[in-house]
Amino acid sequence: MKEIQLQKNYLTGESIDTIYFGGGTPSLLSESEISLLINTITSLHSVASDAEITLEANPDDLDKAKLQALRQTPINRFSIGIQSFFDEDLQWMNRVHRANEAESAVKRAQDLGFENITVDLIYGYPLLTDQKWKFNTDKVFELQVPHVSAYSMTVEPRTALASFIKQKKQPAMNDEQSAAQFTYLMDTMQKKGFEHYEISNFCKPGFYSRHNSNYWRGVKYLGIGPSAHSYNGETRQWNIANNTKYMQGLSIGDIPAETEVLSENDKLNEYIMTSLRTSWGLDLDKLNSIAAASANQLQIAAREFFEKEWLLQKENVIYLSPTGKLYADHIAAELFFSNAE
């Protein structure tokens, strides 16, 4: 609440269309704490009457009493971190919940009137056979969840998993397995009527994540809390990650953040990176509005990807092909504008 007050001028003049309570574990907050934070925001900003207000939640937090309490708040969307419907996989990931809790949490939320639900799934890890991956996706369809976020397992440096792989106590991730499971996901989601509107996100018509879509469309946003990032079109701001220093800064009325002024190339690269991940693609006119003649430079740099049919162009918009989606990060990196240009 203190930081919301201190940052009240960051989005001056902007209407707030979405509010997102992200991880850590915001489902640990009580309904009164959630309402207090939302009321603080609405007292300082113009919030749309139909704003999308999402709460990330662990399945084991969403018991009936918790969900009934949350019905008394403005929360109207849940992001439930399921990851897998197999207990051995969840244990391997060090997740606290169990598979039956995940399924029950979704059903309880639906029974209490929460229809706008997204679930997270993870693929491309050694325990996940193709048969298990099919079971996980089929379970989502069975639950009639309208939005799915699916991510390939990545190994972060300086983590226990990275250490175990280095010591050969755990097998390394398999790129071919990950690509095959992602391809299966794309095909199956399409057959079930889901739109693949961003690399990792699929939804039934009308159930886009408005919040995440705003990130990909370059809409301004304000992040509150340790490590939170903010963006206003001209600068990027990020809060200090250290909790103690974060609280010390707020106690004396300082915003505990660093700021970077975005160069022209920063803006170009940000647009390339975010737009190519989406179904609406990279608009060459918008690229030229950031920097004159940049669209022509990009088309030259992209020639090899057009030849491989990893990129497609319709009128003035460039998209990733289904095969190109397997190489999205590589393609974007190759198209970035360097400061030497």
Tokens of 103: 């399924």
Interatomic CA distance for residues 115 and 55, integer angstroms: 13
- Looking at every residue in the chain, the average pLDDT score rounds to 92
Tokens of 306: 């057009």
CB atoms within 10 A of CB 81: 21
Hey, where are the domains in the chain? 14-215, 225-261, 270-335
Query: Is cis: bond before 24, omega within 30 of 0?
Result: yes
Q: Is the pLDDT of residue 341 over 60?
A: no
Q: Is the pLDDT of residue 340 over 90?
A: no
Widest pairwise Cα distance in the chain = 58
Quick: pLDDT tens for 117-171: 999 999 999 899 999 999 999 999 999 999 999 999 876 666 665 565 666 667 6
Give the H/E segment covering residue 235: strand 235-239
pLDDT attached to residue 23:
81
The average pLDDT across 4-23 equals 93
The average pLDDT across 276-293 equals 93
Interatomic CA distance for residues 119 and 278, integer angstroms: 19
Spell out the SS3 assignment of 87-152: HHHHHHCCCCCCHHHHHHHHHHHHHCCCCCEEEEEEECCCCCCHHHHHHHHHHHHHHCCCEEEEEE
224, 162 contact by CB (below 8 A): no
> Thinking of the domain 14-215, which architecture would CATH place it in?
2-Layer Sandwich (3.30)
Q: Is the pLDDT of residue 270 over 50?
A: yes
52, 76 contact by CB (below 8 A): yes
Place of tokens 């979405």: 18
Residue 336, CA distances (Å) to 254, 276, 301, 310, 321 in order: 35, 12, 9, 16, 19
Q: Is the pLDDT of residue 18 over 80?
A: yes
CB atoms within 10 A of CB 69: 15
The average pLDDT across 327-337 equals 94
Contacts of 289 (CB under 8 A, 6+ apart): none
Tokens of 199: 């690399």
Using a pLDDT cut of 90, give the percent of the chain over it. Answer: 83
Report CA 340 to chain centroid distance, whole Å. 31
The class that CATH gives domain 270-335 is: mainly alpha
Handedness of CA 51, 55, 56, 62 (dihedral sign): negative
Spell out the SS3 assignment of 21-90: ECCCCHHHCCHHHHHHHHHHHHHHCEEEEEEEEEEEECHHHCCHHHHHHHCCCCCCEEEEEEECCCHHHH
Quick: pLDDT tens for 35-67: 999 999 999 999 999 999 999 999 999 999 999
The average pLDDT across 250-279 equals 94
Torsion from C-alpha of 316, 213, 184, 269, nearest 10 degrees: 60
pLDDT attached to residue 137:
97
- Specify the amino acid at residue 239: N
